[in-house]
Amino acid sequence: MDTSLRLGMYAEYERMAEDVRAMKKRLAEIRATAESDDELISITIGGTGEVHDLWLDPRIYRTPDSVALARAIVETFQRAVVLAKEEGVAIAADYLPPDATAETTDLRLDPFLHELDRQVAGDTR
C-alpha cells in the first residue's frame, strides 16, 4: 500500500479516535434525574448508568410497603436511564445511523476505541 495513503488512513483513525474520546468524555458528564409519579423519589444517574443521587422523601415511611417502595425506586431508576440514554444518543448523533434510538443504541465506546487504537498502532491482526 502507498505510504502516503497509509499515513492518511492512520491520521483519519487518530482523528476519529480523538473524536470518540471527546464524545466519551461528554457521555461521562451526563446527569439525568427522574422523579416518581408521587414525587417522593428522585434518582440521578450518569451516562453509563451509575447512580449519583437517590433522594427519598420522608413521607415514604407513612405507608410501610417495602414491595411498593422497591417497585417505585426501580421504575424511577428506569426513567432516569431512558433520559440518560436519550441525552447520550443526542451527543453521539453524528456517528449514528439516522434511525438510531435510545432503545436500539449501545453507547459503550471502549471496544470501538480499542480497535481504533490497535489499527493506529499498525496491528493488522
Q: Which amino acid is at 17?
A: A
Region of residue 123 (phi > 0: left; psi between -120 and 50: alpha; otherwise: beta): beta
Per residue in 10-25, pLDDT (tens digit) is 788 888 888 888 988 9
Which has more pLDDT, 33 or 102? Answer: 33
Helix intervals (H) in 29-109: 66-91
Q: How many CB atoms lie within 10 A of CB 114?
A: 11
Question: Counting beta carbons within 10 angstroms of the beta carbon of residue 104, is it exposed (0 to 12), middle (13 to 18) or buried (19 or more)?
Answer: exposed
Query: Phi first, then psi: what are they for 41, rounded to 5°?
Result: -130, 135
CA 111 to chain centre: 14
Per residue in 47-61, pLDDT (tens digit) is 888 999 999 999 999
Look up the pTM and report it.
0.76
Confidence of residue 30 (pLDDT cuts 50, 70, 90): very high
Contacts of 112 (CB under 8 A, 6+ apart): 20
What grid cell was written down for 18? 480523538
Q: What is the pLDDT of residue 123?
A: 65
Confidence of residue 124 (pLDDT cuts 50, 70, 90): low
